Structures are given as structure tokens and as C-alpha cells.
Amino acid sequence: MTVPSAAECNLPMTNNEVNTDNALDRYLTITAIPGRSGDEAAVAAKIVEILREAGVPDSQIEFDGAETRTRLDGNCGNLIVSLPGNGKGSRTLLSAHMDTVPICVGSQPVVQGDEVHSSAPTGLGADDRAGCGAILTAIVERLKQGDENFPPAVISFLVQEEIGLEGARNLDIAKVGQVDRAFNFDGGTVEKLTIGAIGGERMAITVTGIPAHAGVAPQEGASAIVMASRAIVDLDARGWLGKVQQGDQAGTSNVGVFQGGEATNVITPEVNLRAEARSHSAEMRTRIVSEIRQAFERAAAEVTNHKGAALSLIHI
Ligand SMILES: [Zn+2]
């Protein structure tokens, strides 16, 4: 894939060289601040301080209160910064996340040759303070030189990414406003540009049958293994497993984990499965999940003991 040049992106070319010493200092400063998911307030405070120093007025800096909507009670919301620029061209969103994984708390970043390491026995936490640092440098270097000849931009410094994109999921998009394009800086090499990703659903399925002694009274039992196996055979036979093509919609699905049973002389009362469904189409993903659920429910209802009892609880 060819990455478009700045000119092709309609970005004004600049003669300003980035001061790499300052960029590195900025990165080291924010990387040294502890900030696991839900505890990003100190990181955000430092970013705000750097932005203010560069001349960004408080009226263009706000928090969106996402920490009140996330599953984890955090001490900080997403930090949203609006930059009017020259008011011309595509409004651009830049984002990076402020939190790190717990092993990076206490990082003491030091420069060793061409690399940065933590001198403490921790992870460095470059993910994603490097993204925050890159965006900050882009802003600060331009504004400090009085250069506002760039398209309007909005920045979101996100919280709680590492625990499941909680900050992004709960971003107050009204505060972000309309954007024409968006770039997220996180992970990977600088040459790698991800422009799309397939959506996926993962399921944990528990099938509960009726236990019985397999040698003495097997008719009293209803096997969870039989229930789950029938469901899988049914899904496979009807084209809902593996490569799924139904009408003009495509996707994939898989039952990848099948666990249960402890002895050959017991009608197995429970099995646990893990499955997934993928498709570019959210509607198709929902359909695949629904077919999987229905197949398990049907199979569980069909497998009964000799009294017709089917104590089959399907939990997906
Ligand atoms: Zn990251």
C-alpha cells in the first residue's frame, strides 16, 4: 500500500523542522508518569500543562466525563482539544490513549543509544505515550512558532484503552464534533498503517444436561456432549460454520474450544465451548451469533432423558 504524501492529504507543507530533542523530552516526561487504566488524571494534567504552555486556551481544552460511563470507575475522562487552525480543509481527528498496562507503572525511561528503556524493573509504557507524545509534538512545535496554517483539528487523548477500548467506546462524540478523517496513533511500527479491521464476536457457551451413571441408568441422563455435538453438526450442515456465505452476506465462524466430562461412566452434565463469529457486516455477525444460539437451544431441547426431561440450560 502506498501512503499518500502530505500534499495528497491536503496537508499544508511546512518548512518547520521538528526539534527532536524537545520531542524526546516531551515523550520522556509523559512516559514517566504512572497511569494505569482508570488512573490517567496525572497524565492528562501534564498534557494540559504542555498544551497551555504552547498557548492553547482553556476554552479549547475539555474533558468528556467518560469515566462516569465506563465499566471501571476512573479518575479521568477523555481529554478533547480543539484546534481551529486556518479554518480551511478537512477537519481531522488525531487520537492516542493515555493509559498503560499495570506492568508499566513506575517506569523510569532513560535514553540508551538510539533507544529508550525503563531503568526500573517495569515495562516502558511507550504504548501509548509515544502516540500522545507524537501528537503533542505536532501541536506544540507548530503553535510555539506561531504557525497555525493547518486544517482544523480535534485531538482525543483517550482513557481506559487497555481494558477494552472503554474510553473510545464512551467518547462524547458531541464534544468531538464532525470530523472528515481520523488518525489513531497506537502500537506497531511507524511504517504500518491500518485502514480497516474486521469485526468479531466471541462467545462462551455452557451447555447443561442431566448427569446419570452411564452403566447403571443411562436413560436417566441427558448428555451435554450430545447436545453440543448435535448443535455443531447442524450449524456445519446448514453452512453456518467455517466460511459462511448466506445470500449476499459473508462471514466466518468457528467453535474452537470444546471442554467437558470427567469419566466414561458418567453421562456428561456440562460442557463449555468457545466460539467466534466474524464479518465486515455487523448485521451478518449478529445473524451468525443468532444461528449459533438457536442451534444450541434446539439441540439441547431435543436431547432428553427417558422421562422427556431436558434440563438443558444454554448460556451464551
Ligand atoms: Zn495501545
Residue 85 CA: distances (Å) to CA of 79, 90, 140, 143: 19, 11, 13, 10
Distance 161 CA to ligand 1 centre (A): 7
Expressed in angstroms, the distance from the first to the final Cα of the chain is 39
Alpha-carbon distance 280 to 254, whole Å? 16
Sign for the CA dihedral angle at 156, 157, 160, 161 comes to positive
pLDDT in tens, 133-169: 999 999 999 998 888 899 999 999 999 999 889 999 9
**pLDDT at residue 310, rounded to an integer:** 67
Cis peptide before 128 (omega within 30 of 0): yes
Residue 13 in this model has a pLDDT that exceeds 60? no
Distance 236 CA to ligand 1 centre (A): 37
Distance 86 CA to ligand 1 centre (A): 31
Distance 184 CA to ligand 1 centre (A): 10
**pLDDT at residue 7, rounded to an integer:** 45
Between 6 and 121, residue with greater pLDDT: 121
Distance 62 CA to ligand 1 centre (A): 22
Residue 214 in this model has a pLDDT that exceeds 90? yes
* DSSP, res 241: S
**pLDDT at residue 14, rounded to an integer:** 55
Distance 248 CA to ligand 1 centre (A): 35
Share of the chain above pLDDT 70, in %: 93
Domains 20-184 and 199-315 share a fold: no
* CATH architecture for residues 199-315: 2-Layer Sandwich (3.30)
- pTM equals 0.68
**pLDDT at residue 1, rounded to an integer:** 37
**pLDDT at residue 15, rounded to an integer:** 54
Distance 179 CA to ligand 1 centre (A): 22
Where do the structural domains in the chain lie, given as residue ranges?
A: 20-184, 199-315
Averaged over 218-239, what is the pLDDT? Answer: 96
CATH match for 20-184 among 3.50.50.60, 3.40.630.10, 3.40.50.1110, 3.60.20.10: 3.40.630.10
Is residue 158 exposed (0-12), middle (13-18) or buried (19+ Cβ within 10 Å)? buried
- Mean of the per-residue pLDDT values for the chain? 91
Distance 123 CA to ligand 1 centre (A): 13
